[in-house]
Structure 1
Amino acid sequence: MSWDPFTALARLDSTFDELIRQSFGTRTQHYVPGVDMATDGSDVVISMELPGVHPDDVDLEVVPGRLTVSGERRDTLDQHRGRLLVRELRYGTFRRSFQLPDGVDADRVEAQYDNGVLAIRVRDVTRPMEQPRKIAVRSAAPVRQIEGADAAADHSRRAETSTA
């Protein structure tokens, strides 16, 4: 019988997992699903990767200032599996929270699940960026006018016509 490093590592990994489960008295594992967040007009769209998660196993909750997404990806192969050689897929519960601006309530949040991606739309949370405006700068000191030669002559003519 030859030594197989993958089988030895898998056995060590399985033994370690079992030791941890026995120590903490639970089989629940946690994972963090990946998220993309983008604006769409005045809306914010959060796309969360949840492959293998049934939509009934996802909960969305809105409380003032916070949106929380939680749920569970169930390991359906566990009871039918033989000796585990490699385990890279994550199962168990997940929870992600996002801060919401003041005044956003549950009526402005909608969610849709399609092909393993949960899309959450939070309506009217961003304001369009205002265009820059020029502001006139006024002087606090009174404006003095300097009269030139033409202005002095014009002033003299007005004085002569008013006396005549």
Structure 2
Amino acid sequence: MIVRYQHPYAAFRQFDRTFNREFERLVRRGFGRAAAQPSLRADVYTEGPDAVITAAVPGIAPEDVTVTLEGRRLSVTAERREREAAEGDRYLVRGLTAGTFRREFTVPEGTEAAQVSAEVADGLLTVRVANAVKPAPQAQAIEVKGAQPVIEAETAEARDGDE
């Protein structure tokens, strides 16, 4: 007899992938391609006291990237333009999606625009928020005082006297 192990959640993972693909297809069909706006893929991490966002923007020029700060919301928008094909040229495969890509991040309260810098190099957008990471508070020991327990108990002599 052959025993085959299948992870208990494998069916759910497959369902999730299929559902997402079908949902995007239906949205595009019903509302057009612009309705399903693709999101920028990004990593968010810390370097010392700075928060750093690195987003993939392959084939997008620095002038087509916009970074704005409004309150606690940091918005990154990038636009990849359609390549203009010369007469007689045709695509064999289209894998680079043209359009506008957008992603929003929440920054700490009180972040100023002067703390934010952005740079595009080698297809990556790096946004640095200076001094965004506050040091974790140190645990402080609190003295715990003890009190003598109050015990109210009748003594045998007191009971004998009541009788």
Q: Tell me whether the two structures share a fold, i.e. TM-score over 0.5.
A: yes
Which among 49, 54, 71 is matched to residue 56 of structure 2? 49
TM-score computed with the length of structure 1 as normaliser: 0.63
Partner of 1:58: 65
Identity of aligned residues (%): 36
SS in 2 for 1:56: helix
Q: Residues 1-38 of structure 1: CA distance to partner in whole angstroms, max 9, x if unpaired?
A: xxxxxxxxxxxxxxxxxxx79x85x8898422210110
Q: Which runs of 5+ in 2 are unaligned?
A: 1-27, 150-163
Please say if 1:135 is aligned against 2:146. Answer: no
Q: Distance in 2 between matches of 1:73 and 1:81?
A: 23
Q: Which residue of 2 aligns with 1:113?
A: 120
Residue 129 of structure 2 corresponds to 122
Give matches, 1:16-31, under 5 Å: 30-31=37-38
2:96 is aligned with 1:89: yes
Q: How does 1:145-164 map to 2 (within 5 A)?
A: none
Q: List structure 1 segments (4+ residues) > 6 angstroms apart after TM superposition.
A: 26-29
Q: Which has the larger radius of gyration?
A: 1
Q: CA RMSD in A?
A: 2.9
In the alignment, does 2:85 pair up with 1:102? Answer: no
TM-score (norm 2): 0.63
* Distance change >3 Å, CA 56–CA 81, structure 1 → 2: farther
Residue 73 of structure 1: how far off its partner (Å)? 0.6
Query: How many residue pairs align between the two structures?
Result: 121
**In 1: Cα distance, 2:96 partner to 2:88 partner:** 14
Matched-pair contact (CA < 8 Å) for 2:117–2:128? yes
Q: What's the offset of the Cα at 1:56?
A: 0.3
Structure 1 unpaired stretches of 5+:
1-19, 144-164
